Structure 1
Amino acid sequence: MGGLSHDELQQAARDHLLLHFSKQGIDDLLVLERGEGPYVFDTKGDRYVDALSSLFCAQIGYSHGEEMAAAAAAQLTTLAFNTNWATAHPAAIELAQRLAGLAPGDLNRVFFTNGGSESVEAAWKLCREYHLANGQPQRTKAIARDIAYHGVTLGALSFTGVERFKAPFGQAPIDVTHVSNTNSFRGWEGGPVQDEAAFCARLLAEVEDAIVAAGPDEVALIIAEPVQNAGGCLTAPAGYWRGLRELADRYGALLMADEVITGCGRLGEWFGIVREGVTPDLVSLAKGLTSAYAPMGAVVAGERVVAPMAEAGAVFRHGITFGGHPVSAAIALKNIEIFERDGVLENVRALESHLERGLATLRDLPIVGDTRGRGFFWAIELVKDDENATFDQAERDRLVRGFLPGRLREAGIIARADDRGDAVLQIAPPLISDAALLDEIVERLGDVLTDAGAHMGVGTTTGVA
């Protein structure tokens, strides 16, 4: 390593490092230098439970470095690099074959990228090529969901439904209509949904209305996450995805599952959408594809999407120099091997209900209004009173950006405080976590949220301070 001391690293970061989605020049920046199992260690030697899997990426934790290094070394000493531009290499071909075998239905064609935003952009280009090949160039519009996050490159940002991320960068290059998300805690006149079937019907009717308003022959794509991240792990009502599939088929659009977060084991399946009993036309992957031991993303496309191009021998007018990098592909193959060898998916399935029950006990705290999620992907919605009232902007700033980051760090746990919708605290533990570690995470969260409630005056007779 560079050998800089803790203080030198802090100063160098302030002087030279531009942080992602963060205020710049943070005092006492958390700098992590080592990982072991589900734990990470900072430059002062303090240990933290990584209950966020390093932003939903580190699926198998931090103890497989030697195996991954061996896989990388074998590839580097054989062929360090080759593109997938009119050539290919064995690692990318083998990985594409493996992903096709793991995917549902006819999702058999794989295009590699370097991450999530690139995957969403590549999927949109595949979608456009499909409609062009079918003689429908007018299909240039899309349907996405409110508050949903689909990436930050300008194309992917078009699908993102968080206005404050979009407004500074001008007119979006893709015409996207945003419809309601599936927040059942706030989905019925601001309160919890009482009739799931009616809620589902209303959501689907809104999607259909949006398609009709945009022009049924102009909509190219419907995009959604199996569990929506922004807004706090929003699950869909029963029948929702089957309804989206039916609407896409009826109006000639493609259906895409953005699985950058929910894929690669996070929901206990390689493709989380299988839990909905639906096969989409396109799936985006990233994050857990290599368990973050190397950067990589992918789009997995159905045969019917690719057929018009493949049969005509047409050129797919898109490419990424490092997409499908041999070393990343070799690491992804090793990651799949470890998943299968160590029963990683089986562990998530076995412990999902245990984690759900543990988090549900936090609802006894006055500041907790709801707990929701699937697999190892959960959110806790934070409220200001017994009526589940939401915090206003000043209160969210005080809670989400002011109190929680420092208190979580003090508690030795990494989680995500977020307010792209209402105020939530999210966790996504490494998929190797056992019951004891999950219990420890819940206990630490309980301590943090007890203090958060006191800090905000929740549960007192005077309300929020």
Structure 2
Amino acid sequence: MSTPTETIAPETSAAARESSELQDLAQKHLLMHFTGAHTYTEAPPAIMVKGEGCWLEDEKGNRYLDALAGLYCVQIGYSHGEEIGEAVKAQMTDLPYYTNWGYAHPPAVRLAAKVAEIAPEGLDRVFLTSGGSESNEAAIKLIRQYHQAKGEGSRMKFLARRNAYHGTSFAALSINGMTNFRKPFEPLMHGARHFSNTNRYRRPINETEEQFTDFLLHELEELIRQEGPDTVAAIFIEPLQNAAGSVTPPRGYCEGVRAICDKYGILLVADEVITGFGRLGEWFASTRFGLKPDIITCAKGIASAYVPLGAMIATSDVVDTVLNGPAGMYLHGLTYGGNPSACAAGLANLAIMEREDVLGNVRHNEDYFRTRMADLGSLALVGDVRGAGYHWTLELATDKEKRTWADPVDAADFVANHLAPGLLSAGVLCRAAVDQGGAPLIQFSPPLILNRDEIDWLVASVAAVLKEAESALAGTRA
């Protein structure tokens, strides 16, 4: 695989554009996740065949910097497949599968103990799943049983933030704050309500951080009062909100949310499916921001996505309340939750992260990453730069003073026809999207092993794409 200086842009010759047998088969038979219809009829998907470090290679030899770590999940990069594979092989030789329904096995026990060890203080009970949606689904069920066990069965409502993404399964989808994902499947779970997220970009220009925090907490408390505190079961928040574009909490916000939850007997859930396992330089972002949840949901980085694996982590108080309740058990189970081979992969991944000091790499490079992202903020199309750790977003604007995208070119057309193709052609894999406010976003959440040379390569490549896009837009204005 290539180093940053050797990396070439994907080929653009006619031969390279011809679809391969695998691409044809993908178009005919593979129903891809969140993939537009044009991929099945026009431009076929790239077929990735090899990975090393932070880099991917497709079947035609084109190389890409994976600046999104797959889907925010390949913490250790792509070079540890053999080591994790050996751990999986050894486990499959001993015990390829058994259930956690009333039984346990060594890798599940050891992984639960390890996760409890690195989780924030007090979070020591671990329910294993196969992914993030399952983890949030598990939390919602635990919370419902918790309040029933306390004689408060009227607590059925779940509060989450606008523009938040919590998964695609029934209950997790219900609390999504992204209406475009939720609307086609409504009616969903009763009682989901949404409140403001912590994006400051379009807030009043003279508003202080403290005033913004006061506004957010007042709005949240008013929502609880309006709904009736005795009907609210839990609040779900991401410590750093992903879908709205790397949105971090203002000073005092996390402590304020915790105080509101304590005041009204509401459980607090930190959705750390994306931020968990080192994304912000701590095992969990809740620690970094001083959020003190009753439950953490996680997935992705727990095994660096080498296998499907996730978890819900709860306090003993919550779990014991459920176990001592009317049902005498937590009424939830998954065939593949705590799969022995998946747990072996998770343990191997966490061992690699500790051995390679992956979290230390994030902390060492965060300020440098922030500075280089700020360099992109000086470009004509970049309105806002925000994020933390190894999670950054550029929000684009055609009018920086008004902080809006108001060009004659529609934002969705711009992303589809200029931005996304330009980034791909430059060899950069990242998220290029239009948020619910109508602004184009570019998001980076790379493997946690990304080094400074690779950061420089990424910034230079993105800058070139944005300058070319600006020229194209200038042509439309002329």
TM-score, normalised to structure 1, is: 0.95
Equivalent of 1:56, from 59, 66, 72?
Answer: 72
Structure 2 gaps of 5+ residues are: 1-17
CA spacing shift, 1:225–1:391, aligned 2, 3 Å = farther
Aligned counterpart, 1:227: 240
- 1:251 matched to 2:264? The reply is yes
1:293-316 Cα deviation digits (max 9, x unpaired)? 101110000121112123458111
Amino acid at match of 1:174: H
Amino acid at match of 2:302: L
- 1:144 matched to 2:163? The reply is no
Aligned counterpart, 2:420: 405
* Deviation (angstroms), 1:334: 0.6
Asked if the contact 1:186–1:193 (Cα under 8 Å) also holds between the matched residues in 2, the reply is: no
Aligned counterpart, 2:4: none
Equivalent of 1:331, from 329, 338, 345?
Answer: 345
Equivalent of 2:89, from 51, 73, 80?
Answer: 73
* Deviation (angstroms), 1:442: 1.1
1:334-378 Cα deviation digits (max 9, x unpaired)? 111011100100000110110000000111111000111011000
The percent identity for this pair of structures is 44
Amino acid at match of 2:28: D
Asked if the contact 1:417–1:426 (Cα under 8 Å) also holds between the matched residues in 2, the reply is: yes
Aligned counterpart, 1:415: 430
Structure-2 separation of matches of 1:72 and 1:6: 35
Aligned counterpart, 2:180: 164
* Deviation (angstroms), 1:390: 2.4
Q: How many residues align?
A: 454
Asked if the contact 2:323–2:330 (Cα under 8 Å) also holds between the matched residues in 1, the reply is: no
* Deviation (angstroms), 1:464: 5.2
Structure-1 separation of matches of 2:135 and 2:422: 35
1:221-266 Cα deviation digits (max 9, x unpaired)? 0111011111111111011110110000100110010000010111
* Deviation (angstroms), 1:379: 0.3
Asked if the contact 2:366–2:389 (Cα under 8 Å) also holds between the matched residues in 1, the reply is: yes
Aligned counterpart, 1:374: 388
Structure-2 separation of matches of 1:201 and 1:254: 21
- 1:453 matched to 2:465? The reply is no
1:387-423 Cα deviation digits (max 9, x unpaired)? 2222579611112222222111110110111223332
Equivalent of 2:28, from 15, 20, 34?
Answer: 15
Higher mean C-alpha displacement, 259-268 vs 22-31: 22-31
Question: 1:332-411, aligned counterparts within 5 Å?
Answer: 332-387=346-401, 388-391=403-406, 395-411=410-426
Structure-2 separation of matches of 1:20 and 1:351: 32
Aligned counterpart, 1:441: 458
Asked if the contact 1:384–1:464 (Cα under 8 Å) also holds between the matched residues in 2, the reply is: no
Q: Supply the RMSD in Å over aligned alpha carbons.
A: 1.6
Asked if the contact 1:143–1:207 (Cα under 8 Å) also holds between the matched residues in 2, the reply is: no
Determine helix, strand or coil for the equivalent of 1:217: helix
Equivalent of 2:45, from 29, 33, 37?
Answer: 29
Asked if the contact 1:351–1:435 (Cα under 8 Å) also holds between the matched residues in 2, the reply is: yes
Amino acid at match of 2:377: R
Structure-1 separation of matches of 2:77 and 2:229: 45
Amino acid at match of 1:8: E
Amino acid at match of 2:386: R
Structure-1 separation of matches of 2:157 and 2:206: 30
- 1:187 matched to 2:203? The reply is yes
Asked if the contact 1:391–1:423 (Cα under 8 Å) also holds between the matched residues in 2, the reply is: no
Amino acid at match of 1:430: P
Structure-2 separation of matches of 1:443 and 1:12: 35
Structure-1 separation of matches of 2:185 and 2:408: 23
* Deviation (angstroms), 1:6: 5.9
Structure 1 gaps of 5+ residues are: none
TM-score, normalised to structure 2, is: 0.92
